[in-house]
Amino acid sequence: MSEDREPGARPVGVPLWSPDARPAPFPASPPLPGVPVPLEADPHDLRADPHDLRADPHDLRADPHDLRADPHDLRADPHDLRADPHEQLCDALRGVRAALLDMDGVVVLKGRPIEGAGQAIASLRARGIPFRFLTNSSLWNRDSLAARLSGAGIGVRADEIVTALSASAALAARRWRDRPIYVLAAPDGLREFDGQWLVGDDEAAQLGRDAPARVAAVVVGDAGPGFTYERLNAAFRLVRGGARLVAVHRNRWWLTPEGETIDSGAFVRALEYACGRRSLLVGKPSPAFFSEALASLWRAGGTVAGDPALDRRDILMVGDDLQSDIAAARRVGLRAAFVLSGKHGPRDLDLARRRGRQGLPDAVATSLAEIVAALG
């Protein structure tokens, strides 16, 4: 392109997260053996059929006023008029001193910034509340993500972003530094693997036929249109030959400017099914991914690292996915705030409550801006 604009700035009118910005993926690298995997339905699937008659909406066994319910769920009774909703939110978030923020559905939606997100991030920074973006997004490397966000008015540095792809690259560097790996990801995202031994598509196809055991791992990230039959078949042969199947994440779908769009988790499941092996999950809801984000906060120094009394309950995860963000954060001892600005909404939350899901949110808000405004 010959447009005259500063590096990192996006063209006017082009959505921040537009699939058109996805370069068709290519190179990648490989795996180690897997473990037989039963592919039963995910019990935490919050997008289950809402018409499932096994979940009786008139079930009177679940008393909404039951005080045995989660004492942190301050939004349990939406008809409770005894307190102002803002006061309830402030009470739920009292004591929060650091934050982990999902990206899609919290600061951007369908490729565009969510209203108030930029000001909310600026407010966190001005008030000295440390934060990290914790995202399964893996189309771009962290430098590109930071540039895209900053160009859209959301000021963030690359070292304030932890992606499932960057965590996968770190894992590969630790485990398979001197062995070839095959990575299915977009070209920009592949920069996270700079310095590692990656095999390209042609080499992967040949190795899959002749010497699959040479490849240490197959890493499956966001390849978009790059999920071709040829590439998936090469990955299948490498995994069958002994390569470790690594899932950057297992998200089923995400929201793009075109609407609900299939995500890389569907291709991970297809490879698991075809190979008969369970993948190694790196991104959310993996507890190890949250640990990496917390380590990034502590390495940053300042409030978090300098305060030995800081507890995980002082750290808030803000997300729009009731399973990967909210339930996962609660399982590792963090507080969690569910925002209604993304993929899951009130209907999903109500369904989770009626089905007695574990790990419901401590707080519910319309947006990140409302969350930040309620922080003490």
Return the bridge partners of 199, or none.
28
Q: How many CA atoms lie within 13 A of 353 on its CB side?
A: 23
Which pLDDT score, from 0 to 100, does residue 310 have? 65
In a shared domain, residues 184 and 103: no
**Calpha distance 199→145 (Å, rounded):** 25
Q: Are residues 197 and 344 in the same domain?
A: no
Q: Give 282's pLDDT tier (boundaries 50, 70, 90).
A: very high
Same domain for 291 and 153? yes
Are 246 and 321 contained in the same domain? no
The CATH number linked to 234 is 3.40.50.1000
Report if residue 55 sits inside a domain.
no
Structural domain contains residue 7: no
Rounded average pLDDT over 171-196: 94
**Are the C-beta atoms of 216 and 235 separated by less than 8 Å?**
no
For 312-365, how does the pLDDT look when each residue is reduced to its tens digit (9 = 90+)?
889 999 999 999 999 999 999 999 999 999 888 888 888 888 887 677 999 999
Residue 90: count other Cβ atoms within 10 Å of its Cβ. Answer: 17
- Comparing 298 with 81, the larger pLDDT belongs to 298
pLDDT band at 54 (very low <50, low <70, confident <90, very high): very low
Residue 279's pLDDT is what?
Answer: 96
User: Of 218, 246, 281, which marks where a domain is finished?
Assistant: 281
* The last residue of a domain, from among 240, 265, 281: 281
160 lies in the same domain as 291? yes
In a domain, residue 12? The reply is no
The count of domains in the chain is 2
Q: Among 230, 248, 281, which residue terminates a domain?
A: 281
Range of the domain at 180: 22-35+172-281
Based on the domain organization, do 300 and 268 belong to the same domain?
A: no
Residue 17 inside a domain? The answer is no
Shared domain check, 341 and 251: no
